Structure 1
Amino acid sequence: MKILNIMLSHDLGGIQQAFLDYNTALGMQKIEVINITSYKAKINSFLHKQNLKLPNIVPFDLLSVLILKYIIHKTKPDIIIAHGNRAINFSKFAKSQNIKLIGIAHNYSLKGLRKCDFVITLTHHMKEFLLKNNFAESRICILPNMINIAKDFTPNKTYRKPIVIGVLARFVAKKGVDVFINAIKILKEKKYDIQAVIGGSGEEEDNLIALARKLNLQDQISFTGWVNDRDKFFKQIDIFCLPSLHEPFGIIVLEAMEASVPIVSTDTEGPAEILTHLQDGLICKAGSSEDLAEKIVYLIENPIKAKEFSKNAYLTLKQNYDIKVVSEKLQHILESFNKILAPTDSINSFTLEFL
């Protein structure tokens, strides 16, 4: 079986990490992989073997489609795995009808997924969303994102003084970093000895820095910029927070689980399936600085429980999200899809969107 794995986003983030993980997972199962990215994609430097690149200059780039069509003709893949709407659109126009197109549902955008023969969702919540929007159940499989576990369970023996609380996120509104900053304000007012480390970058960066200053948190919060060395980041924190308002999956949660760091996450779609409240982490209400602060306080005041949560989280990670486990499931899914004729309704739904 030969797979064409395509992702055309330029920036770095969860989808890009998933694209890399699919490449690794397919290789582990001895499946031939052809990776396709954009010329300017930041992820190119992370691919160890040579990948093919498209210009990808505009949303519908005819030159890129023609190049992709040539690549498909020469390489003759059995299946195309597409990450993101643009990758789906280009692949749909470039492929021949006998090649199956599988879209990875990294978010809740349906337009691109309707053009696919099959869809892989990351969570049960996402699958239910697709079913409610008239996707055929026979076209859907659930497969979570994965992580290549490289470390044993190694929790901090004790909290630092001050206790360091970390966030890693793109600085966009839906990531809720402002909610986290307001939670730090609450903890400061309650006289907890804490420091917050916020890693990331994005369009909201100036607003977030201004908010920290407005709340007089310059001494409690440091902004590190985009973090490339995540291992180093996790080693310098005692508690990890995911304050997102909307999070389809949350690969960063898996990374925190591997790092043996206790986690507080919002009750958003992905993390709420990954973590079980009071078992392998704490879940707070999305958008509530007060609830986030309350859950952080629980971990601060219950360090033994925090370590227990971290241990359980690590075991959950190994059982459900280790790339060795998920790659085998991926192989079975692809073999199953490859035996099925591509459903004609994917062509019909594609046409209907333009009527």
Structure 2
Amino acid sequence: MTNILHAMLGKGLGGLEQVFLDYQPILEAWAAKHGGRCAGVVRKGGAVARRGASRKPAFVAMDAFTDWDPLTLAAAKGVVRAAAPDLILSHGQRPARVFGKVAPASAIQAVCLHKPSFEVAPGVHYLCVGRHLARLAMERGAPEDHVWFIPNSVKTPTARAKPFSKGESVPVKIVAAGRLHQKKGFDVLIRAIGKLRAWDFDVTCEIAGEGEERGDLEALIRELDLDPCVQLKGWTDDVAGFLATGDLFAFPSHQEGFPLTLLEAMSVGLPVVATEIDGPNEILKDGANGRLVPDDDPDRLAEALGELISDREAAKRYGEAARQLVLDEYGPGELARRLEAALDGMTSKAR
């Protein structure tokens, strides 16, 4: 029998939370096959707890204030007593630290790494969404046989983009999506749109998402006199549907793990231009299924977008190639196969 405690203590509903939701049914099925069960543990009052309120089996919602306060640790101890886990899988550093303090000595501990800010602890397994994170884990001391590469996945979307289908007389629509945070580089995209407009490209831009940088981005839009053509659309529950309304997808991020939004844009068949950073450069091949440009460079981003607008047939080919790559390599079936292989490997080492 193998019981799993699967923990994620984030407040919102971003990429980390979506990966937790993607993992949960796979872990439940694997645990059941091995005579056990999987308890999904989330932050009380958080977005995932609210979304999963009617879920069967229900998530366990616990207080999570800091990594060390007595209320959080007491809640974690209660969860561990009830779940009796043989394996604890945490998403991110906070649940890893919390449950690491109260885990049974016999329990296998694993952490899913979504970004490069993490510490390595003796004996812990690391499930890495990007190859660059796997390399970092080993560089920081994790043994190779405790590091597992499990890239993120997306479901096959019901929406499908039709880039440049509205004809030459309609402005080209560039779309982007993500949390409005400095590391996402939306200011770079807005400056690139300004350059395209100055070069007489008839373009508009819509950015879906919300966050603390909204005020700064709105000020930049006004400063560059882009109010008529750049819109911050706020959150959407249908990301794929929103992306499919575009002609091109821009991904100007400064730091990523293995970006779900990029995979979603590719899955609907959008031609994409992304920054050449760890994560995107593991997914895209420049000139084959998209374009990669230097980080924090509005000129090069604008130039690449302009080149795709000028050569629309090439752009459409990139979009089709990107979609096929996601369908072949980054679907739910591939995620299940890789995660199940990691679970088999981790538990076999403990026997």
Aligned to 1:77: 85
Asked if the contact 1:281–1:313 (Cα under 8 Å) also holds between the matched residues in 2, the reply is yes
Offset, 1:227: 2.2
Letter in 2 for 1:40: G
- Return the alpha-carbon distance in structure 2 between the equivalents of residues 301 and 219 of structure 1: 23
Aligned to 2:321: 312
Letter in 2 for 1:184: I
Partner of residue 40 from structure 2, selected from 31, 35, 40: 35
Partner of residue 139 from structure 1, selected from 142, 146, 151: 146
Alpha-carbon distance change, 150 to 195 in structure 1, aligned in 2, over 3 angstroms = closer
Letter in 2 for 1:196: C
Offset, 1:72: 1.9
Partner of residue 155 from structure 2, selected from 140, 148, 152: 148
Aligned to 1:352: none
Offset, 1:28: 5.5
Offset, 1:307: 1.5
Asked if the contact 2:161–2:247 (Cα under 8 Å) also holds between the matched residues in 1, the reply is no
2:308 match: secondary structure: helix
Offset, 1:134: 2.3
Letter in 2 for 1:12: L
1:218 maps onto 2:250 in alignment? no
Asked if the contact 1:148–1:324 (Cα under 8 Å) also holds between the matched residues in 2, the reply is no
Asked if the contact 1:149–1:322 (Cα under 8 Å) also holds between the matched residues in 2, the reply is yes
Gaps of 5+ in 2: none
Asked if the contact 2:122–2:142 (Cα under 8 Å) also holds between the matched residues in 1, the reply is no
Question: Which shows bigger deviation, 218-227 or 114-123?
Answer: 114-123
- Return the alpha-carbon distance in structure 2 between the equivalents of residues 312 and 30 of structure 1: 36
- Return the alpha-carbon distance in structure 1 between the equivalents of residues 123 and 330 of structure 2: 25
Q: Quick one: higher RCO (CA 8 Å, sep 6+), 1 or 2?
A: 1
Alpha-carbon distance change, 283 to 340 in structure 1, aligned in 2, over 3 angstroms = same
Asked if the contact 2:77–2:102 (Cα under 8 Å) also holds between the matched residues in 1, the reply is yes
Aligned to 1:348: none
Aligned to 1:23: 24
Asked if the contact 1:28–1:327 (Cα under 8 Å) also holds between the matched residues in 2, the reply is no
- Return the alpha-carbon distance in structure 2 between the equivalents of residues 90 and 103 of structure 1: 12
Alpha-carbon distance change, 59 to 95 in structure 1, aligned in 2, over 3 angstroms = closer
Identity of aligned residues (%): 26
Offset, 1:27: 4.3
- Return the alpha-carbon distance in structure 1 between the equivalents of residues 345 and 257 of structure 2: 25
Alpha-carbon distance change, 163 to 154 in structure 1, aligned in 2, over 3 angstroms = closer
- Return the alpha-carbon distance in structure 1 between the equivalents of residues 38 and 290 of structure 2: 36
1:128 maps onto 2:129 in alignment? no
- Return the alpha-carbon distance in structure 1 between the equivalents of residues 164 and 191 of structure 2: 28
Asked if the contact 1:159–1:238 (Cα under 8 Å) also holds between the matched residues in 2, the reply is no
Gaps of 5+ in 1: 343-355
Q: What's the RMSD between the two structures over aligned residues?
A: 1.9
Offset, 1:296: 0.6
1:237 maps onto 2:246 in alignment? yes
The count of aligned residue pairs is 341
Asked if the contact 2:247–2:270 (Cα under 8 Å) also holds between the matched residues in 1, the reply is yes
- Return the alpha-carbon distance in structure 1 between the equivalents of residues 209 and 164 of structure 2: 27
Letter in 1 for 2:152: N
Letter in 2 for 1:41: G
- Return the alpha-carbon distance in structure 2 between the equivalents of residues 173 and 69 of structure 1: 36
Deviations 1:21-69 (A, max 9, x none): 1113334657442110111211223333311011112342322222222
1:339 match: secondary structure: helix
1:340 match: secondary structure: helix
TM-score by length of 1: 0.91
